[in-house]
């Protein structure tokens, strides 16, 4: 049975070019980058090339990019150390952030003398920017942690507007850019932030490697000790293979961004049109969305409770939301925050340039077996 992968917001497959790059590093550049001999220098050189490529892509300085194991690690470090060392007293965030932000913020609220404020969001997952402005203006020493693209709904937040609001009030802007990197151009000169982070496995790079950007005006100390790697910011021997693979994956994503986006847009339109024509009472969750993430709300029906399971045994992999929370019976925190009706079933289909129109057709045919079809589709 052919398997169809529609869970690219959870993770993506490695591209052949990325595998080639990584395999060359594995065989030829196995030195420890901290060693001063030839083998060490050649590994170190790869890391510095990757840093340069990522910095260039984001219009950042080379010295502002640091490698680490994941976006979860990066966001934990940034939030912990900003509270401890940048005099943060108020964290302003949204109820729609990834758990690596929300749970960390909740932990910090218990451990430190800080207040956490949640910006109102509407039923489409859109932020109330006036409420955000009010929160920023009425509190001092604020850190604003708001994501660029929501991983469950695909909603794109206006990071330019948030960046300007933060700059005007001397608030610290921290952005979870994980779902945007490689898909939406991020220019840190035009859209200043204090911190942001990315994760290679979301853009066809390897798992277990990520990076963060730390603006040179907002220096925080490391949480790991015992190694001078990453200019003392992240102790531990670098994942040279992963870092080189991540830089290659990002280079490919940037080089092919427009053609990938055009293909994904066609898939998105075909999926949304077919869903509304062929199936009954379908709603698309969220507004102002990126094309690759489509959260669909299905009406209650005897088989829709087991929809993900049924699609899986039909050969289709998709999920109900964040991979870290999959398997939970109830609606995710994101669906709860947008007041998605609990009797309906929300499923996220997340696409990539690797998907085809035929795969979308197969998905629609499979869905018709498990969820009510539109009256016109019976004919
Ligand atoms: N932030 C968002 C929006 C995500 O989608 C994810 C991954 O699911 C993360 C953070 C965590 O990334 P990582 O897998 O690198 O820890």
**CA-based torsion, 23, 27, 28, 34: positive or negative:** positive
DSSP assignments along 64-133, one per residue: GEEEES-HHHHHHHHHHHHHHHS---EEEE-TTS-HHHHHHHHHHHHHSS-EEEE--B-TTS-B-HHHHH
Average pLDDT of 245-255?
Answer: 97
Q: Does an H or E element contain 316, and which?
A: strand 316-317
Max intra-chain CA distance, the chain: 74
The β-bridge partners of 99 are none
Whole-number average pLDDT of the chain: 95
Q: Is the CB of 100 under 6 A from ligand 1?
A: yes
What integer pLDDT is reported at residue 113 of this predicted model? 87
Task: Please work out whether the CB of residue 179 comes within 6 Å of at least one atom of ligand 1.
Answer: yes
Q: Which residues of 178-197 are buried (b: 16+ CB within 10 A; e: fewer)?
A: bbbbbbeebebeebebbbbb
Mutation test residue for ligand 1: of 74, 197, 202, the one with most atoms within 8 Å of CB: 202
What's the mean pLDDT in 32-41?
98
Using CA atoms, how far apart are residues 358 and 377, in angstroms rounded to an integer? 19
Residue 328, pLDDT > 70, answer: no
For position 379, what pLDDT does the model report?
A: 44
Going by their DSSP bridges, the two strands 210-214 and 195-199 should be labelled as: antiparallel
61 Cα distance to chain centroid: 22
Output the CA 98–ligand 1 centroid distance in Å. 7
Which one-letter DSSP state was computed for residue 272? H
pLDDT digits (tens, 9 = 90+) for 192-211: 999 999 999 999 999 999 99
Residue 12 CA to ligand 1 center (angstroms) comes to: 12
User: Rounded to whole angstroms, what are the CA distances from 184 to 149, 190, 257?
Assistant: 9, 14, 8
280 contacts: CB under 8 Å, gap ≥ 6: 299, 371, 372, 373, 374, 375
pLDDT average, residue stretch 346-371: 96
pLDDT, tens digit, 9 for 90 and up, residues 277-324: 999 999 999 999 999 999 999 999 887 778 999 999 999 999 986 555
Buried b (16+ CB within 10 A) or exposed e, 258-291: eebbebbeebbeebbebbeebbbebebbbeebbb
The DSSP call for residue 213 is E
295: tokens are: 């959260």
Once rounded to an integer, what is the mean pLDDT over residues 17-34? 98
Q: Among 375, 372, 365, 378, which residue's Cα sits nearest to residue 311?
A: 365
Place 1 in a pLDDT band, splitting at 50, 70 and 90.
Answer: confident
Atom of ligand 1 nearest to the CA of 9: 5
Q: Per-residue pLDDT tens for 111-129? A: 998 999 999 999 999 999 9
CA of 212 to the centre of ligand 1 (A): 13
What was the pLDDT predicted at 329?
Answer: 54
Q: Is the CB of 72 under 6 A from ligand 1?
A: yes
List residues with catalytic annotation: 324
98 close to ligand 1 (CB < 6 Angstrom): yes
Mean per-residue pLDDT, 232-239: 97
% of residues, the chain, pLDDT over 90: 92
Would you report the helix, strand and coil content of the chain in percent, each value rounded to 5?
45, 15, 40
Q: Output the pLDDT for position 372.
A: 81
């Amino acid at each position: 049975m052919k398997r169809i992968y529609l869970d690219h917001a959870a993770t993506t497959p490695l591209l052949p070019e990325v595998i080639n790059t990584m395999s060359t590093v594995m065989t030829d550049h196995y030195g420890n980058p901290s060693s001063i001999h030839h083998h060490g220098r050649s590994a170190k050189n790869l890391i510095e090339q990757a840093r340069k490529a990522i910095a260039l892509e984001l219009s950042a300085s080379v010295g502002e990019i640091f490698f680490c194991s994941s976006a979860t690690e990066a966001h934990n470090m940034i939030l912990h150390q900003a509270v401890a060392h940048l005099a943060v007293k108020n964290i302003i965030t949204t109820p729609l952030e990834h758990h690596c932000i929300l749970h960390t913020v909740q932990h910090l609220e218990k451990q430190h003398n800080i207040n956490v404020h949640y910006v109102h969001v509407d039923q489409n997952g859109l932020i109330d920017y006036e409420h955000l402005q009010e929160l920023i203006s009425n509190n001092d020493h604020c850190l604003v942690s708001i994501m660029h693209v929501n991983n469950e709904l695909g909603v794109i937040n206006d990071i330019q507007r948030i960046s300007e609001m933060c700059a005007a009030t001397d608030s610290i802007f921290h952005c979870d850019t994980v779902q945007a990197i490689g898909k939406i151009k991020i220019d840190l000169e035009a859209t200043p932030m204090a911190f942001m982070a990315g994760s290679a496995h979301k853009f066809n790079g390897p798992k277990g490697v990520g990076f963060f950007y730390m603006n040179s005006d907002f220096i925080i100390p490391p949480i790991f000790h015992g190694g001078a790697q990453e200019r003392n910011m992240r102790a531990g021997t670098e994942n040279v293979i992963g870092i080189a693979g991540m830089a290659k994956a990002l280079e490919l994503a940037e080089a092919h961004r427009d053609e990938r986006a055009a293909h994904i847009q066609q898939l998105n339109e075909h999926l949304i049109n077919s869903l509304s024509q062929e199936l009954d009472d379908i709603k698309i969750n969220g507004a102002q969305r990126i094309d690759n993430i489509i959260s669909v709300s299905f009406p209650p029906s005897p088989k829709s409770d087991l929809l993900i399971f049924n699609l899986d045994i039909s050969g289709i992999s998709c999920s109900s939301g964040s991979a870290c929370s999959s398997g939970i019976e109830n609606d995710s925190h994101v669906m709860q925050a947008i007041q998605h009706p609990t009797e309906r079933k929300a499923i996220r289909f997340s696409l990539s340039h690797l998907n085809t129109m035929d795969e979308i057709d197969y998905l629609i045919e499979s869905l018709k077996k498990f969820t009510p079809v539109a009256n016109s589709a019976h004919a």
